Amino acid sequence: MKLIKTQLENIPEHLAIITDGNGRWATRRGLPRSIGHKVGARAIKTITEACANSGVKILTWYVFSIENWKRDKAEVDYLMNLFIKFIRDWREEIYRKGICFRHLGIKSGLPTELIDEIEITEEKTKYNNKMIVNIVLNYSGKAEIVNATHSIVRDVQMNKLRMDDINEITFNNYLYTAGQRDPDFLIRSSGEVRISNFLLWQLSKTQIYTTSVLWPDFTCEHLFEAFEKYKPFIEVYKG
Ligand code: IPE
Ligand code: IPE
Ligand code: MG
């Protein structure tokens, strides 16, 4: 039976996805890894549309970690060019669909052309409110926390923040995800069961789902299968 979205009881408000397995998908077919990335990028567009139609409010894609710079230069160059083209080609469509585009990570170090595409898209879609799509690119969870700490210390030194006011809520305001709820559900494809330096602070209470499906093979059916396993986390206070 084909599952349709209305049959699902619970849809995560904030869904985060680690798109893993592009390289293996290509290698198994005797293709260069780059083809896996290209097909994987198409799946990101398809799944974004399905999420928007299902009522997901925030969708966060992990597409390039700080650690990924250690890969072959040719693969990294291919990925950077793919991101440039991907964001440029997608801009009009996400704008029309009411999606607000955000980049999470470090802009410095990225090709200027990519920074331009990111900034133009962020600016163009900033008043859209159907869904937020975060593209997590050149990102490290540890670096994000250190960066937040620097900003907090600076604000304390400048008397903009009192030490007594530093708590989990104010700390949130210094993260790239400031103003956004934490992910409710995390999907990682390709069978790996690792966080890989992704949203270390924000995932503290997130339900984690892994599937052996390699990212380029991931379809809407796989998404709905994952949603079936999602159980909203409800805090129970005793005493
Ligand atoms: C995920 O697929 C995409 C990126 C990290 C950019 P991989 O490239 O990690 O694919 P595998 O894990 O080698 O199969
Ligand atoms: C995680 O995949 C990062 C992204 C999908 C961007 P990796 O393939 O880079 O992670 P590891 O190296 O297996 O932990
Ligand atoms: Mg991988």
Between CA 115 and CA 110 the distance in angstroms is 7
Pocket test for ligand 1, best of 17, 22, 39, 70 (most atoms within 8 A of CB): 22
Distance 60 CA to ligand 3 centre (A): 17
Closest CA to 7 of 184, 221, 232: 221
Which residues participate in catalysis according to the annotation?
A: 20, 68
Between CA 105 and CA 170 the distance in angstroms is 19
Single pTM value for the model: 0.95
Residue 3, token pair as written in the block:
């599952």
One digit per residue, the tens of pLDDT, for the chain of length 239 reads 455 545 567 999 999 999 999 999 999 999 999 999 999 999 999 999 999 999 999 999 999 999 999 999 999 999 999 999 999 999 999 999 999 999 999 999 999 999 999 999 999 999 999 999 999 999 999 999 999 999 999 999 999 999 999 999 999 999 999 999 999 999 999 999 999 999 999 999 999 999 999 999 999 999 999 999 999 987 776 65
Residue 192 CB less than 6 A away from ligand 2: yes
Q: Domain-by-domain residue ranges, the chain?
A: 2-140+182-238
CATH 3.40.1180.10 fits 2-140+182-238, yes or no: yes
The 3 state secondary structure assigned to 129-163 is: CCEEEEEEEEECHHHHHHHHHHHHHHHHHCCCCCH
